[in-house]
Chain A
């Protein structure tokens, strides 16, 4: 079946540094990818929708200058957390759609657990 690879699975960084998370579709082309985050004991929440070759669409309350999304190819989207702070510590996960359309299944990565010290 379709596979989405997310890397790294776990990262610890110091406050003020930037962290890049990659989301790759391994055996299909994903024109659209989605980024979510999940704080401890809370629901997953959509952060942004990433479209290949165009600017990402951010959800209300998500700072686009802090969470930089690049979707330069049909198989790769990256999320960069810039100038990370401890409150950015969270679980980040991506998903991808292999065909645009209401019946297309979602494929999720395995997530990245970010800890900012």
Chain B
């Protein structure tokens, strides 16, 4: 069993739909990251969170430490949101970039 599990693996949505991507982990962490990987491979850090909820524009990330679960929500999705979304965790006591990654969720938003 992977230490970081994401679902779904693939997701197709119509423009405007509300999207949720889930992440579960089985290790003790100091932070959880949501990353966006573009088709060329480049990665953008969307959120780093250790508790509660964060919002940036149309993106919302939540984490439940007790349940070891996090969700990434995209409101009013747009074709430019199409990318691979990756959940990654920093192990407790580790440095920020010492990450364990999920396999990613490939999102395709159709116009």
Which of A's residues lie within 8 Å of B, judged by CB?
Answer: 9, 32-34, 36, 38, 42-46, 49, 91, 93, 95-97, 100, 102-111, 113
Contact = CB atoms under 8 A, between A and B. Distances in A.
A95 B42 contact: no
A63 to B, nearest CB: 19
Nearest to B4: A43
A-B pairs, 9 with minimum CB distance: A34-B97, A110-B42, A111-B41, A108-B43, A44-B101, A43-B101, A43-B103, A95-B97, A106-B45
B76 interface: no
Given A110-B40, A111-B40, A105 B98 contact: no
A102 B30 contact: yes
Chain B, interface size category, equals 20 to 34
Contacts of A111: 40-43
A49 B98 contact: yes
A102 B40 contact: no
B10 interface: no
Interface string B41-82: 111110010100000000000000000000000000000000
Given A44-B86, A44-B88, A97-B96, 16 more contacts: A32-B97, A34-B98, A34-B99, A43-B102, A43-B103, A46-B100, A49-B97, A91-B41, A97-B95, A100-B95, A104-B96, A105-B45, A108-B35, A108-B42, A110-B40, A113-B41
